[in-house]
Amino acid sequence: MDAKSDITEVEAFMREYNDLFSSGDAKALWSRVYRFEPGGKAMINSEADLKKLHDDIVAQGYSHSIVHMMKVTPTGPDLMRVKLHFERKKTDGSTFAPGKQASEYNVQKFPDGWRITSAWMTALD
């Protein structure tokens, strides 16, 4: 595939990631989205960590996340860097502090599809 097709695939993959995160589907996220590299940057290290993260924010009123910006940049063969600007919304329509946030992801294509191999919070730009 060409880089443009790969970028389109990764954009769709990241939209699916956002939908799965919003719905709290830790099992699907862990099996179909994440494949963290050993020793890599990760905000979570297991399906249980992911479920706890989601349960914690739901307890604070979390409803869903809105992606405001997505930038996908090829970084090598079958490798992409994704930057998202997003905000987490509460069930009452308000926004979680600090409001808009940014995160970055390394995404790699494996025989079974694209997977997030590392993730970290970053500054808005």
pLDDT at residue 79 is higher than 80: yes
Mean pLDDT value across residues 34-38: 81
Query: Whose CA is closest to 105, among 73, 57, 66?
Result: 73
What is the residue-averaged pLDDT of the chain?
91
Query: Whose CA is closest to 14, among 111, 88, 110, 80?
Result: 80
* Cα–Cα dist 10/16, whole Å: 10
Residue 82 pLDDT grade (very low, low, confident, very high; cuts 50, 70, 90)? very high
Domain at 28, CATH number: 3.10.450.50
pLDDT at residue 15 is higher than 90: yes
For 102-119, letters b (16+ CB in 10 Å) and e give bebbbbbbeeeebbbbbb
3-state secondary structure (DSSP) of residue 68: strand
Residue 125 pLDDT grade (very low, low, confident, very high; cuts 50, 70, 90)? confident
pLDDT of residue 11: 97
Name the domain count of the chain.
Answer: 1
- For 16, the domain range is 3-122
Query: Where is mean pLDDT largest: 31-40, 101-110, 113-122?
Result: 101-110
pLDDT at residue 46 is higher than 70: yes
Structure tokens at 81: 């860097």
